[in-house]
Amino acid sequence: MLYIIGLGLGDEKDITLRGLEAVKKCEKVYMEAYTSLLSFGLSTDGLSTLENLYGKPITFADREMVEEKADDILSSARTSDVAFLVVGDPFGATTHTDLVVRAKELGIDFKVVHNASVMNAVGICGLQLYRYGETVSIPFFTDTWRPDSFYEKIKRNRELGLHTLCLLDIRVKEPSWESLSRGRKKYEPPRYMTINTAIEQLLEIEERRGESAYNEDTRCVGFARLGSEDQMIVTGTMKQLLAVDFGAPLHCLVIVGKTHPLEEEMLDVYKLEGGSPHQKDDGSV
């Protein structure tokens, strides 16, 4: 059996009881390590924390392993129970859908254990989930590549009065162009896009396109480390959020569409006051 298990968003304790029971009976446990990360990142200490709680040795599965060596994972599942751990929910990334399709084609049984993901956890800001339009992903710009294909989706959402969730780029174990040209892979240091960088890129695209999909006065919600104990949520204009230090990754951004009074009341909980995020009694933001 192949178990595809969601870990939630915070730390090792966010796994469900059903997921933990499945992990404990598996002979091999892999953890997907490139579409997202838990609060401790990809450190050795973080891996030990997982292994101590789950009672199993865990193998980090990077992009190359999952996309190029998935057959090795699946072949093990023919004769034993194998767990594939995913931060968030198993189907938050298309790669994991592909793994299920390949398992089905090979006649391998699979079970999925769901968990919280960024797609529903953003509801904490008060914007109602059924009023979101199409989600977009914003990649890092380079000197020669400055894509804007997601601009049309944001514009369409805004025209319909819908909110837009922007997932920000994660670059983990990415080979450099220089190393690829030389035929030997050398990996760049991990990079995680900040809300500030995302807004800078979005405003650059708007200036270039000039179709008024949004501007520096457009209201947004910035999320950092969503689901963790030290999560940070701030609402303000694009211009205001540019000046906020959101701290460590992971970050995501919501571009606010048309709101109704109840949504406005919740957004007020997280608005900037005097240029700083509003602090609540428990110290969270």
Q: How many CB atoms lie within 10 A of CB 121?
A: 20
Task: Supply 147's token pair.
Answer: 């894509």
5 closest CA partner among 97, 69, 83: 83
267, 256 contact by CB (below 8 A): yes
Known binding residue 9? Answer is: yes
Known binding residue 118? Answer is: yes
209 closest CA partner among 252, 147, 162, 134: 147
The full DSSP string for 231-268 is -EEEEEEHHHHHT----SSPEEEEE-----HHHHHHHH
**Pairing state between β 82-86 and 28-32:** parallel
Known binding residue 168? Answer is: yes
Known binding residue 226? Answer is: yes
- Distance CA(17)–CA(30), nearest Å, equals 18
Known binding residue 98? Answer is: no
Residues making up the annotated binding site for S-adenosyl-L-methionine are 9, 89, 92, 117-118, 168, 226, 251
Residues making up the annotated binding site are 9, 89, 92, 117-118, 168, 226, 251
